[in-house]
């Protein structure tokens, strides 16, 4: 088997942890497997580098920021390869460039365009364990790029696809995917299996187990992913194609996200093309918009448009939206950062009715006001006051009887 | 003018120092100069990375060590470019690879083969200040290499040559080149000018101001180099071609080196080809041999050969030499690490006699025994007991009246 194993920041936080990772890689390699390891920067390292950048410059350039941040994963890849070699294997560290990870030129949030993997394929055939620096790639013009927060997950899944790996294991500091955050709901259950679609909703809804884009990629190319802990031998959660068994479960999990901010444009003239203008402007600044809610206006002439963006982009979005709002002759723009998004997710919703109603009832019963609603085929999301976030997760986990899940 | 400025580890040790470097670069750029900055890793960073490597592996692979160590300079180059940009200039950080520094594949001690500098030339013409990560290059097969301790000096001089720069300034934490180490001889004088040849002897003899290979390179290609402090505005020492004025000075400086170890092969059969066999074996292990002394044997049948190597290579050399000694049917091998090499250097020696005699007399007068002697056209070196090193430097500085130098 060809197995890709990705180890996150806490799994390679220090020399002891790196040696433990090397032991695990060694055990996998000894079972006649080819192994490609993808590593993150040591926990805290990326934040330290970002801090250093802000110490020397008010507005560090994004191109240089990528060069700076990419060094964290390079360090871990070199150290991890050394540790694996120390256990008697042939090991080779590869940077994003050496792995042939070519991206677009959107610095700090680059998208992978292709992975050539020439050097890796040659080395795998020669019996090397490959250790790739995650989170990074290179543009056609040879500038270093990074893939955004959690980008090492995407590196791992994309490499698994490029090498036609049998399995992509994502090692982290939790045992797998739970029905809710176990820190909030102690009786939350670990799921043995979850569909790509559900994982995607959970990932994008703030469950930090897997980066959203990595799940999208895995789903698109059908890469089997296992999320498991590097601190024990528990089997983890398999993220895979939907099957019949999964459809029987109406709700798989409750997700919450407190890292979004809500922007509302008030009194927008109700004319065609307005929304397009607004969101084109925001997309142009590479800000990812999540929920979009537009209500029909009372008098038929003006309407309110609300949307959510990552909290870190909140102020930037506010400024941008204010400029666009003037152009659109809207009445004003409002930013709210103290919100939470709570979602129930499950592929079973497609064939079962009443999930949304049950959710709204449960929230109402506990005095939690709903600020906005958004639904998809397999999820229902509500924006609420941030202070009710944990309460909402607990009462919904209870209402959908998730503690009884298999 | 096109000016290359190299800043060492203490000059970029923290955010404050990096901002001070940016200010200096900015002043230079504002005088209508094109500036290429070459930076080392922050002081202590390289040793920290080496420490981390030895924590995860008993014998870290040299290829991975180079990948690991190269990250230190990348971090500094990114931060320095950000700081320069923050002062209103266009700035671009370039890695060794992006600078087009191609080396051989001798990891941890690579030699520069060529510098393509395409990206840098283009950016310079577009008005960018370039900030290059020193100490590193890349092999033809795209593996990262490093140039050995102090390699950023070589990066700077080689880049100055490749770009046909008007001047290469090496910024460090001392004011320039002195007649002796001012920490040992407080009355030592700073030299305004020194020839490449003298600087080369001083560099290779343990004066840590400039890395040896960088001086060799500067001499070969006639690159004007200035050594000066990044902590003040003093003019520094110009390293340049020998001129008439320099020849009038018999001795320019006293150098000492306590980082060498002496290996003696005893009772070597006195046959042709023996020395060749011995030193070919040592060169094959990429160990740099400095002094070589062979005495005619007493009975005409066996001889002793002594040589010095960097102390860090001492044990490795001992093992290697023992193997070769067996083959050569020598009587034994001895390693001495508690030695110092003291040298008097000056281009004036070529036309003045009696320097060696004066040196030996001075040492004898102070009870310092000479273990071995080696001379070149412009220097006389003596190996002595390490414990007498500082005394020797002081009495020689006095004997050659260097405190009176211009």
**How near does any CA of chain B get to the CA of A172, in Å?**
20
Q: pLDDT tens digits for A240-283?
A: 998 888 878 889 999 999 999 999 998 888 777 888 888 888 88
Q: Phi, psi (5° rounding) for residue A365?
A: -55, -30
How many whole angstroms separate alpha carbon A344 and alpha carbon A373?
Answer: 12
Q: What order do you get walking across the sheet with A237-240 strand by strand? A: A90-94, A128-133, A34-39, A2-7, A167-172, A225-229, A237-240, A193-195
Percent of chain A at pLDDT > 70 equals 97
Q: Which residues contact B220 (CB under 8 A, 6 or more apart)?
A: none
Nearest to A61 among B49, B85, B97 (CB): B85
* Structure tokens, B290: 């400095």
**How near does any CA of chain A get to the CA of B69, in Å?**
8
Q: Among candidates A177, A153, A168, which has minimal Cα distance to A234?
A: A177
B360-387: b or e for each residue (b if 16 or more CB lie within 10 Å)?
eebbeeeebeebbebeeebbbbbbbbbe
**How near does any CA of chain B get to the CA of A173, in Å?**
21
Residue A70 forms contact with B (CB below 8 Å): yes
Which chain A positions have a beta carbon within 8 Å of B142's beta carbon? Answer: 97-98, 119
Residue range A364-387: mean pLDDT, rounded: 91
How many whole angstroms separate alpha carbon A359 and alpha carbon A95?
Answer: 47
Over 60: is that where the pLDDT of A125 sits? yes
B218 within 8 A of B203, measured Cβ to Cβ: no
How many whole angstroms separate alpha carbon A39 and alpha carbon A41?
Answer: 7
B56 within 8 A of B36, measured Cβ to Cβ: no
Question: How many CB atoms sit inside 10 A of residue A88's CB?
Answer: 10
Residue A19 forms contact with B (CB below 8 Å): yes
Question: What's residue A389's pLDDT?
Answer: 95
pTM: 0.83
Percent of chain A at pLDDT > 90 equals 74
How many whole angstroms separate alpha carbon A68 and alpha carbon A75?
Answer: 12
* Structure tokens, B280: 């070919």
Q: Among candidates B173, B138, B34, B20, which has minimal Cα distance to B91?
A: B34
Q: Among candidates A292, A262, A261, A257, which has minimal Cα distance to A389?
A: A257
Residue A258 forms contact with B (CB below 8 Å): no
Question: What's residue A351's pLDDT?
Answer: 80
Residue B81 forms contact with A (CB below 8 Å): yes
Which chain A positions have a beta carbon within 8 Å of B120's beta carbon? Answer: none
Q: At what angle do helices A62-86 and B62-86 cross, to 10 degrees?
A: 160
The residue to which tokens 């129930």 are assigned? A344
What's chain B's length in residues? 406
A3 within 8 A of A167, measured Cβ to Cβ: yes
**Cross-chain Cβ contact B60/A75 below 8 Å:** no
φ/ψ bin of A279: left (φ > 0), alpha (ψ from -120 to 50), beta (otherwise):
alpha
How many whole angstroms separate alpha carbon B257 and alpha carbon B184?
Answer: 13
Q: Among candidates B81, B94, B168, which has minimal Cα distance to B132?
A: B94
Question: What's residue A273's pLDDT?
Answer: 80
**Cross-chain Cβ contact A57/B15 below 8 Å:** no
Residue range A355-365: mean pLDDT, rounded: 92
Query: Of A406 and B14, which is predicted with more confidence?
Result: B14
How many whole angstroms separate alpha carbon A71 and alpha carbon A45?
Answer: 10
Question: How many CB atoms sit inside 10 A of residue A309's CB?
Answer: 23
pLDDT tens string, chain B, 406 residues long: the values are 999 999 999 999 999 999 999 999 999 999 999 999 999 999 999 999 999 999 999 999 999 999 999 999 999 999 999 999 999 999 999 999 999 999 999 999 999 999 999 999 999 999 999 999 999 999 999 999 999 988 999 999 999 999 999 999 999 988 999 999 888 999 999 999 999 999 988 877 766 788 889 999 999 999 999 999 999 999 999 999 988 888 788 899 999 999 999 999 988 887 778 888 888 888 888 888 888 888 765 666 778 889 999 999 999 999 999 999 998 888 999 999 999 999 999 988 888 888 899 999 999 999 999 988 888 889 999 999 999 999 999 999 999 999 985 5
Nearest to B98 among A22, A49, A142 (CB): A142
Residue A71 forms contact with B (CB below 8 Å): yes
Q: At what angle do helices B62-86 and A45-56 cross, to 10 degrees?
A: 30
**Cross-chain Cβ contact B67/A53 below 8 Å:** no
How many whole angstroms separate alpha carbon A228 and alpha carbon A237?
Answer: 7
Rg of chain A (C-alpha set): 22
B210 within 8 A of B170, measured Cβ to Cβ: yes
User: How many residue pairs bridge chain A and chain B with CB atoms within 8 Å of each other?
Assistant: 123
Question: How many CB atoms sit inside 10 A of residue A392's CB?
Answer: 24
Q: At what angle do helices A355-365 and A389-399 cross, to 10 degrees?
A: 130
* Best residue of A78, A84, A95, A108 to probe chain B, by most B CBs closer than 10 Å: A78
**Chain mean position to CA A102:** 20
Nearest to A82 among B15, B53, B119 (CB): B53
The residue to which tokens 């992913």 are assigned? A225
How many whole angstroms separate alpha carbon A368 and alpha carbon A386?
Answer: 10
The chain B residue lying nearest A20, using CA atoms, is B56
Which chain B positions have a beta carbon within 8 Å of A76's beta carbon? Answer: none
User: Would you call A294 exposed, middle or buried from its count of C-beta atoms within 10 A (0-12, 13-18, 19+)?
Assistant: middle
Q: pLDDT tens digits for A274-314?
A: 888 888 888 888 888 888 888 765 666 778 889 999 999 99
> Which residues share a beta bridge with A286?
none
Complex-level ipTM: 0.81
Over 70: is that where the pLDDT of A406 sits? no
In the 8-state DSSP scheme, what is residue A351?
Answer: T
The residue to which tokens 């200040």 are assigned? B129
Question: What's residue B236's pLDDT?
Answer: 94
Question: What's residue B16's pLDDT?
Answer: 97
A135-167: b or e for each residue (b if 16 or more CB lie within 10 Å)?
bbbbbeeebbbbbbebbbbbbbbbbbbbbebeb
Q: What is the 3-state secondary structure (H, E, C) of chain B?
A: CEEEEEECHHHHCCHHHHHHHHHHHHHHHHCCCEEEEEECCCCCHHHHHHHHHHHHCCCCCHHHHHHHHHHHHHHHHHHHHHHHHHCCCEEEEECCCCCCEEECCCCCCCCEEEECCHHHHHHHHCCEEEEEECCEEECCCCCEEECCCCHHHHHHHHHHHHCCCCEEEEEECCCCCECCCCCCCCCCCECCEEEHHHHHHHHHCCCCCCCHHHHHHHHHHCCCEEEEECCCCCCCEEEECCCHHHHHCCCCEEEEECCEEEEEEEEEECCCCHHHHHHHHHHHCCCCCCCEEECCCCCCCEEEEEEEEEHHHHHHHHHHHHHHHHHHCCCEEEEECCEEEEEEECHHHHCCCCHHHHHHHHHHHCCCCCCEEEEECCEEEEEEEHHHHHHHHHHHHHHCCHHHCC
Which chain A positions have a beta carbon within 8 Å of B73's beta carbon? Answer: none
User: Would you call B165 exposed, middle or buried from its count of C-beta atoms within 10 A (0-12, 13-18, 19+)?
Assistant: buried
Q: pLDDT tens digits for A154-207?
A: 999 999 999 999 999 999 988 999 999 888 999 999 999 999 999 988 877 766
Question: What's residue A377's pLDDT?
Answer: 86
**Cross-chain Cβ contact A15/B79 below 8 Å:** no
Which chain B positions have a beta carbon within 8 Å of A49's beta carbon? Answer: 75
* Structure tokens, B116: 């393509």
**Chain mean position to CA B12:** 19
* Best residue of A53, A56, A58 to probe chain B, by most B CBs closer than 10 Å: A56
**Cross-chain Cβ contact A64/B142 below 8 Å:** no
Nearest to A93 among B67, B74, B77 (CB): B67
* Best residue of B64, B91, B92, B108 to probe chain A, by most A CBs closer than 10 Å: B64
Residue A67 forms contact with B (CB below 8 Å): yes
Nearest to A19 among B56, B67, B97 (CB): B56
Query: Of B7 and A377, which is predicted with more confidence?
Result: B7
How many whole angstroms separate alpha carbon A324 and alpha carbon A161?
Answer: 41
**Cross-chain Cβ contact B64/A85 below 8 Å:** yes
Which chain B positions have a beta carbon within 8 Å of A86's beta carbon? Answer: 56-60
How many whole angstroms separate alpha carbon A197 and alpha carbon A349?
Answer: 12
* CA dihedral sign, ordered A38, A41, A42, A44: negative
Nearest to B82 among A64, A79, A83 (CB): A64
């Amino acid at each position: 088997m060809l197995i890709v194993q990705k180890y996150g920041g806490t799994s390679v936080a220090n020399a002891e942890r790196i040696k433990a990772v090397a032991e695990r890689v060694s055990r996998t390699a000894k079972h006649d497997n080819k192994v490609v390891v993808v590593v993150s920067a040591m926990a805290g390292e990326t934040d330290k580098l970002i801090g250093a950048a802000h110490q020397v410059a008010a507005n560090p350039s994004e191109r240089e920021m990528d060069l700076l941040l990419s060094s964290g994963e390079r360090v871990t890849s070199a150290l991890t390869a050394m540790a694996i070699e120390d256990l008697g294997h042939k090991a080779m560290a590869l940077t994003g460039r050496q792995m042939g990870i070519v991206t677009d030129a959107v610095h700090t949030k680059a998208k992978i365009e292709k992975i050539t993997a020439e050097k890796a394929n040659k080395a795998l055939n020669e019996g090397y364990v490959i250790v790739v620096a995650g989170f990074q790639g290179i543009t056609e013009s040879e500038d270093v790029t990074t893939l955004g927060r959690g980008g090492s997950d995407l590196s791992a899944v994309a490499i698994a696809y490029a090498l036609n790996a049998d399995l992509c294991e994502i090692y982290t500091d939790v045992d797998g995917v739970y029905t809710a955050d176990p820190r909030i709901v102690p009786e939350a259950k670990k799921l043995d299996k979850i569909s790509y679609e559900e994982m995607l909703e959970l990932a994008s809804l703030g469950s930090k187990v897997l980066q959203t884009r990595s799940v999208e990629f895995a789903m698109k190319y059908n890469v089997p992913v296992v999320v498991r802990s590097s601190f024990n031998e528990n089997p983890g959660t398999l993220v895979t194609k939907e099957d019949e068994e999964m459809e029987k479960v109406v709700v798989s999990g409750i997700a919450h996200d407190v890292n979004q901010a809500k922007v509302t444009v008030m009194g927008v003239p109700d004319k065609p093309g307005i929304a397009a203008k607004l969101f084109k402007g925001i997309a142009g600044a590479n800000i990812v918009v999540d929920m979009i809610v537009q209500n029909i206006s009372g008098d038929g002439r003006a309407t309110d448009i609300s949307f959510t963006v990552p909290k870190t982009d909140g102020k930037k979005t506010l400024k941008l939206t204010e400029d666009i709002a003037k152009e659109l002759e809207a009445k004003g723009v409002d930013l709210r950062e103290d919100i939470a998004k709570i979602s129930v997710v499950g592929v079973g919703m497609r064939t079962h009715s009443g999930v949304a109603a049950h959710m709204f009832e449960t929230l109402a019963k506990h005095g939690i006001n709903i600020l906005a609603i958004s639904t998809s085929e397999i999820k229902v999301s509500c924006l609420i006051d941030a202070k009710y976030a944990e309460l909402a997760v607990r009462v919904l986990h209870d209402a959908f009887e998730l503690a009884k899940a298999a």
